[in-house]
Amino acid sequence: MLEICRFYGIVIKMFFDDHNLPHFHAIYGEYEVLININSFAVFAGNLPPRALGLVIEWATQHHDELLINWERAREQESLSKIEPLR
């Protein structure tokens, strides 16, 4: 799993060769969620509401970059860093 972004204590990661649903992992302290890149729906785990809102705001701004990184990860190519939420 590679870190692609970090902001406000939230770490965004993707796994190489992960299962089919395009998604990313958001980790905040002891919390972790898996978020669908296309719908921004949480399908596993949980985050505090404020942290989740920040993650969704960031993901909305970087949707295309997330999809590109997802495809790169599936092909086991290097992933690009994505700008943090400001």
How does pLDDT run across 41-69, given as a tens digit for each residue? 999 999 999 999 999 999 999 999 999 99
Both tokens of 30, joined, read 């002891």
- Report the chain's mean pLDDT, rounded to a whole number: 94
Q: What ranges in the chain are assigned the alpha helix state H?
A: 49-61, 63-74
Q: Would the CA dihedral through 58, 4, 76, 24 be positive or negative?
A: negative
pLDDT band at 1 (very low <50, low <70, confident <90, very high): low
Q: Is 30 exposed, middle or buried (0-12, 13-18, 19+ CB in 10 A)?
A: exposed
Q: What is the pTM of this model?
A: 0.93
Give the domain ranges of the chain.
2-74
